[in-house]
Structure 1
Amino acid sequence: MMEAEKFSDTYGKTFNVRNAVTCKSTNVVYAVHYERCKIVVYVGETGDTLYQRHLLNLSRIRTRHNDPVTEHFYTNVHSVADFLVMGLEK
């Protein structure tokens, strides 16, 4: 999991991270960040733990599910090591 006090979207707009979020946090707003290209490709929310959501995203990548996170992964030739999740708010 990636930790930061702020992050920028693909348009350069900066956002502050409001709360301390851990892998065990539930009801979280999170961002998917690709380290290789240094961008946040998706912001979403989950009622599950952040860890469970991270595992689901990895599963969707492995099964080539049709969604923005997976599409970016394969279009830009990433590895799983590039795929990071950052908790933004709980």
Structure 2
Amino acid sequence: MEVLQHADDLEKHRLADTSKQPSENILHKLTRDELLCIVDLLDLHDKFWLTQTCEVFRLLAKRDWDHEFSLLDKEQQERFLAGMPSD
């Protein structure tokens, strides 16, 4: 399977290697716009965790996490960090 360069290739990715995708996974049946609507509903720390799950979500929820974090106020930063695992 080829490496995707940007989010516009999501449909190509979805069709590229179906042997590794569960046929009953509803997420693989959604369009890019539908997936983006779902991603937009998530809190920032949930978007971060989503990007850790698979290549498609890394592309959809792609962020400069340091920059995103710096834009948060102190309370939002604390909520973001509360969603992260502690060492």
Q: Which has the higher helix share?
A: 2
Fold match (TM-score > 0.5): no
Q: Which has the higher strand share?
A: 1
The one of the two structures with greater contact order (alpha-carbon pairs below 8 A, sep at least 6) is 1
Structure with higher Rg: it is 2
Calculate the TM-score normalised by the size of structure 2: 0.28
Calculate the TM-score normalised by the size of structure 1: 0.27
